[in-house]
Amino acid sequence: MTALPGSVGADSNRFDNVLKGGSDLEGRPEYPRFLWCGDACLVTEFGDTIDPLINSMVKGLELKIRGLVLPWLVETVPTYRSLAVYVDPWETRREEVELTVISLAREVEAKSMPSAAIAEIPVCYGGNFGPDLERVSIHTGLGPDDIIRLHSSKLYRIYMMGFTPGFPYLGGMDPRLETPRLEDPRTLIPAGSVGIAGKQTGIYPIPSPGGWNIIGRTPLVLFDPARPSPFLLEAGMEIRFVPVPEERFEEILSGKGA
């Protein structure tokens, strides 16, 4: 079998914890650290918690990498706390990838993050659009109006995208809204459904199975592969939910509302 150039050998973890300090993470000298995932992906970890500072460093590194012309770069995938850099192993050697990523990671500072774009997401809460609003009310002890008020009063950061195309994982939800996932997940949730799961809230961009508590729905199309830019949202943005009545929902859905 022909080995890939720069393939990972027995010392594939030799860059774990290669940077001791030098980051913007006070009290976390073990980060950032670097882990190879196979021959074509180098992961940079900045921490192990959901934290705006950590996530801003992830986004900062991604912006620096994307700002370079790297013939071996395939894509970058940010998460809450890490950045996966996928490369074409036929176009480079792992040492070149390590040198580039590690040197850029040294330069990342949380304060260097540019201001995030803010998107307003109209949501029709409750009724047929939010079948689990009552369940969240029972669990939290809050009335439906209070749930809607609290959920729509916060500014949410998009920490990462997944598990389906365009699904935004959001941080910043009021802890009083925390509600466990459904014991029996639904086999089909409509596109645009807004849900709560534990400490998180998010939006289902396409029809899919899921176990989040559905409290409302947006008429906006978060993912459309026919658009020049298929994704309406991206990691690093911030969003605000705006309650709308069903009539307004239908207007936006039909294209009659701006």
The Cα–Cα gap between 212 and 155 comes to: 20
- Under the banding of pLDDT at 50, 70 and 90, the label for residue 258 is low
Confidence check: pLDDT of 108 > 90: no
Residue ranges per structural domain of the chain: 33-112, 118-254
Q: For all residues of the chain together, what is the average pLDDT?
A: 86
Lowest-confidence pick of 34-43, 45-54, 105-114, 213-222: 105-114
Q: Which CATH number fits domain 33-112: 3.40.30.10, 3.50.50.60, 3.60.20.10, 3.30.1360.40?
A: 3.30.1360.40
pLDDT in tens, 186-196: 999 999 999 99
Confidence (pLDDT) at 196: 97
H-assigned helices in the chain: 52-66, 94-107, 133-140, 144-152, 246-254
Instruction: Give the CATH fold of the 118-254 domain.
Output: Cyclophilin (2.40.100)
Of 206, 213, 134, 225, residue with least CA distance to 167: 206
Structural element, H or E, at residue 204:
none
pLDDT digits (tens, 9 = 90+) for 12-27: 343 443 433 344 444 4
Residues of the chain above pLDDT 90, percent: 69
pLDDT in tens, 149-193: 999 999 998 988 888 999 999 988 999 999 999 999 999 999 999
Is 114's pLDDT higher than 80? no
